[in-house]
Amino acid sequence: MKQLIEQFQQSLAALDRVKADALFQEALATMAPIQAVEQLVVPSLEHIGAAWHRGDLALSQVYMSGRFCEALVDGALPPSDPDRKHQPRSAIVVLSDYHDLGKRIVYSIMRASGFELFDYGRMDVDQLVERAIADQLRVLMISVLILPSALKVKQVCSRLKERGVDVKVVVGGAPFLFDAQLWQDVGADAMGSSASEAVAIVERLMGAMQ
């Protein structure tokens, strides 16, 4: 696996889409799609992000790696389960920043696990608060890429509270992985570090709401 991850990272950094696709297919031959995503794609992108941070890669390489991986993930994740779970009204959103891979993975896995939820795409604070109230959400899942966006979750939580809305806010994304306390600091109800954790968290919240 270690060798596969290294080769995959190299193919992404070299912008070799054909090689990256072949290596991803190799992973899919021995593991479930979600495992291939979480064990090959996610750590490879983390490594690429760290290399960019050190100045070893250009932002264009990070960007293209993200785009290649989006296409791979789109093709591999399972179709929705038609037998939807009885559930609280839920939605997922990217707050303020410009990325969608994490949100897209969580959304697909939630749907594939039987949950029906709104996909709000990307929104800023005001728009999100109004939409969450209009849709009478009980669970709001927020994905972010950078720290300034993570800090905006605090505004979302306090505005929802001010308006007397009873909605559980679940957060995820890079800034929350770097700082284990951050989700509590911004007033969220839970934080998940992967798509599979997202499913477990919503199931737990559902249990507590009944």
Is residue 146 a contact residue for ligand B12 (CB under 6 A)? yes
Measured between alpha carbons, how far is 49 from 47 in angstroms, rounded to an integer? Answer: 5
Rounded-to-integer distance, Cα 165 and Cα 126, Å: 15
Using CA atoms, how far apart are residues 84 and 36, in angstroms rounded to an integer?
25
Which member of 97, 115, 156, 160 binds ligand B12 (CB under 6 A)? 97
Query: Shortest approach of ligand B12 to residue 136 CB, angstroms?
Result: 19
Q: Determine the Cα–Cα distance for residues 16 and 14; give it in Å rounded to an integer.
A: 5
Residue closer to ligand B12, measured from CB, 114 or 164:
114
Q: Alpha-carbon distance 202 to 147, whole Å? A: 24
State the Cα–Cα distance between residues 118 and 111, nearest whole angstrom. Answer: 10
Q: Which of 57, 106, 153, 160 binds ligand B12 (CB under 6 A)?
A: 106
Window contacting ligand B12 (CB under 6 A); options: 9-17, 40-48, 125-133, 153-161 = 40-48
Query: Which two structure tokens, joined as six digits, stand for 42?
Result: 């996610």
CB of 51 to ligand B12, least distance (A): 9
Query: Is residue 178 at the binding interface for ligand B12, with CB under 6 A as the rule?
Result: yes
Residues interacting with ligand B12, by CB under 6 A?
Answer: 38, 42, 45-46, 48-50, 53, 59, 62-63, 66, 97-103, 105-106, 141-143, 145-147, 170-175, 177-178, 192-195, 197-198, 201
